[in-house]
């Protein structure tokens, strides 16, 4: 994992995450036999690209996301939004919005005069195939996160803060129970402990006055001994590390040594660490989304493309580990956000497919058009809010 020039980092971060997501949709569509004439990074007017087979692989004007154009009954509306150009119906002459370099007199629309065959349309495929196509982008982003997190564990080792007590708060539950500075916590209620985060995971939920059975290693004149100690956590309010909302938590009043230890691991353990890191990140993202819906997380915390670019530049300056960690986190964000049931996102499209399967017939074009417009408005509103937050942050407000 080599270093990246800081100001190239946003291109790598945006490009890789979007490319992987759209590649998932594209490969699934091709496997299912759906016609996919455009694979684009970015939206709007085509800047440059290359046509291979029946697909134009392009980079487009607006560097926000990307898309795969698939033969669908919604093509006319979506093509206008994406800036894809052309029609998938029969077109004896080249449409004005299709570049001459892409036109093939023997090809399928939009790059040729022949209409797309009925069996190549998305709607002609069985429900499981359509669900697979819609979910493949999300699955590819999750896979990217797991692979990157696994690679980081292999390259840099698994990091943790040892559960060694640096100081005990006078009068706190730990001090009253006899915990001393220098003690190393080795188990809680019989479960082994090897890192400080494991101590927090066991202590924080204890808000009911129940005692925890600690076992600590303590150095003394006779050598290192294991000492059992029972501690009843006290309840206090603390900000949630993910959402920032204040909540009751259990605390025992100790401080640990702020020293990160890295342990080299093999492929199997690194893979386990990668999966665990992905699950933890997913939990954090879902927690933030839930906080936004409940009002415990302010919409002012939403960041957009400017913030991502700034974070990417800083991550590249901090080193390859930080940059790839950002890529993993952003990839998982893209996966989860795409599952939000907004019509133009994968989650919304999935709900429409399942609704039609349940009804036994397709939704009317009017209904789908209204839903698409609502979805586009919702996504644009989110983009505008995030961009406004970015600009306010740049201005120091």
> In the chain, pLDDT over 70 holds for what percent of residues?
95
Above 50 in pLDDT, residue 290? yes
Ranges 18-27, 171-180, 273-282, 338-347: which has the least confidence: 338-347
Q: Are strands 261-263 and 158-160 parallel, antiparallel or unpaired?
A: antiparallel
Q: Which domains does the chain have, with CATH numbers?
A: 34-124 (no CATH), 128-157+265-397 (no CATH), 159-262 (2.30.42.10)
> In the chain, pLDDT over 90 holds for what percent of residues?
52
Distances (CA, A) of 232 to 12, 161, 190, 235, 250: 49, 23, 16, 10, 9
Residue listed under structure tokens 């009804």:
359
Beta bridge partners of 236: 249
DSSP 289-350: HHHHHHTSS-GGG---HHHHHHHHHHHHHH-HHHHHHHHHHHHHHHHHHTTS--TTSHHHHH
Cα 347 off chain centre by: 14
Q: Which alpha helices (H) appear in 215-300, and where do they start and end?
A: 267-294
Mean pLDDT over residues 371-389, rounded? 83
- The pLDDT value given to residue 243: 64
- The pLDDT value given to residue 1: 44
Above 80 in pLDDT, residue 211? yes
Cβ neighbours, 10 Å, residue 296: 16
pTM of the prediction? 0.83
Closest CA to 196 of 171, 173, 169, 166: 166
Cα–Cα distance measured from residue 363 to residue 360, given in angstroms and rounded to the nearest whole number: 10
Cα–Cα distance measured from residue 53 to residue 59, given in angstroms and rounded to the nearest whole number: 17
Cβ atoms of residues 177 and 186 within 8 Å? no
State which of 171-175, 220-224, 305-309, 342-346 shows the largest mean pLDDT. Answer: 171-175
Beta bridge partners of 256: 165
Judged by phi (left if over 0) then psi (alpha if -120 to 50, else beta), residue 47 lies in alpha
Closest CA to 321 of 161, 148, 187, 201: 148
Torsion over CA: 279, 280, 281, 283 (sign): positive
Rg, the chain, Cα only? 27
Cβ atoms of residues 251 and 233 within 8 Å? yes
- The pLDDT value given to residue 28: 97
Mean pLDDT over residues 74-97, rounded? 77
Above 70 in pLDDT, residue 4? no
Cβ neighbours, 10 Å, residue 31: 12
Above 70 in pLDDT, residue 188? yes
Task: Determine phi and psi for 252, rounding to 5 degrees.
Answer: -120, -5
Dump pLDDT digits (tens) for 103-148.
999 999 999 999 999 999 999 999 999 999 999 999 999 999 999 9
- The pLDDT value given to residue 83: 66
Q: Cα angle vertex 234, ends 232, 240, to 5°?
A: 125
- The pLDDT value given to residue 2: 47
Cα–Cα distance measured from residue 285 to residue 16, given in angstroms and rounded to the nearest whole number: 20
For the chain, the first-to-last Cα distance in angstroms comes to 36
Q: Are strands 165-168 and 158-160 parallel, antiparallel or unpaired?
A: unpaired
């Amino acid at each position: 994992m080599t270093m990246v020039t800081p100001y190239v980092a946003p291109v790598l971060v945006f490009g890789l995450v979007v490319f992987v997501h759209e590649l998932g949709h594209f490969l699934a569509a091709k496997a299912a036999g759906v016609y996919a004439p455009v694979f684009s990074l970015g939206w709007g007017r085509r800047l440059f690209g290359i046509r291979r087979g029946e697909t134009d692989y392009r980079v487009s004007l607006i560097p926000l996301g990307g898309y795969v154009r698939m033969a669908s009954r919604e093509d006319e509306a979506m093509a206008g939004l994406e800036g894809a150009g052309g029609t998938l119906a029969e077109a004896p002459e080249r449409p004005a919005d299709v570049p001459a370099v892409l036109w093939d007199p023997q090809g399928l629309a939009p790059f040729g005069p022949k209409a797309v065959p009925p069996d190549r349309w998305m709607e002609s495929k069985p429900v499981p195939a359509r669900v697979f196509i819609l979910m493949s982008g999300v699955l590819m982003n999750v896979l990217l996160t797991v692979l990157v997190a696994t690679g980081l564990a292999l390259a840099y080792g698994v990091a943790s803060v040892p559960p060694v007590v640096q100081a005990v708060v006078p009068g706190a539950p730990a001090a009253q129970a006899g915990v001393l500075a220098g003690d190393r916590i080795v188990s809680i209620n019989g479960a082994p402990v090897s890192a400080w985060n494991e101590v927090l995971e066991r202590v924080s939920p204890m808000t009911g006055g129940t005692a925890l059975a600690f076992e600590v290693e303590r150095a003394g004149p006779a050598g290192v001994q294991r000492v059992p100690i029972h501690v009843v956590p006290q309840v206090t309010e603390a900000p949630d590390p993910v959402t920032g909302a204040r909540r009751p938590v259990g605390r025992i009043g100790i401080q640990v040594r702020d020293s990160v230890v890295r342990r080299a691991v093999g492929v199997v353990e690194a893979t386990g660490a990668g999966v665990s890191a992905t699950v933890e990140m997913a939990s954090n993202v879902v927690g933030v989304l839930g906080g936004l819906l409940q009002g415990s997380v302010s919409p002012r915390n939403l960041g957009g493309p400017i913030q991502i670019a700034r974070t990417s530049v800083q991550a590249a300056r901090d080193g390859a580990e930080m940059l790839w960690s950002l890529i993993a986190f952003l990839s998982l964000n893209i996966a989860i956000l795409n599952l939000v049931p907004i019509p133009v996102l994968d989650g919304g499209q999935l709900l429409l497919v399942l609704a039609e399967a349940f009804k036994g017939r397709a939704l009317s074009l009017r209904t789908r058009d209204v839903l698409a417009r609502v979805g586009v408005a919702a996504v644009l509103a989110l983009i505008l809010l995030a961009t406004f937050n970015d600009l306010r942050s740049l201005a120091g407000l």
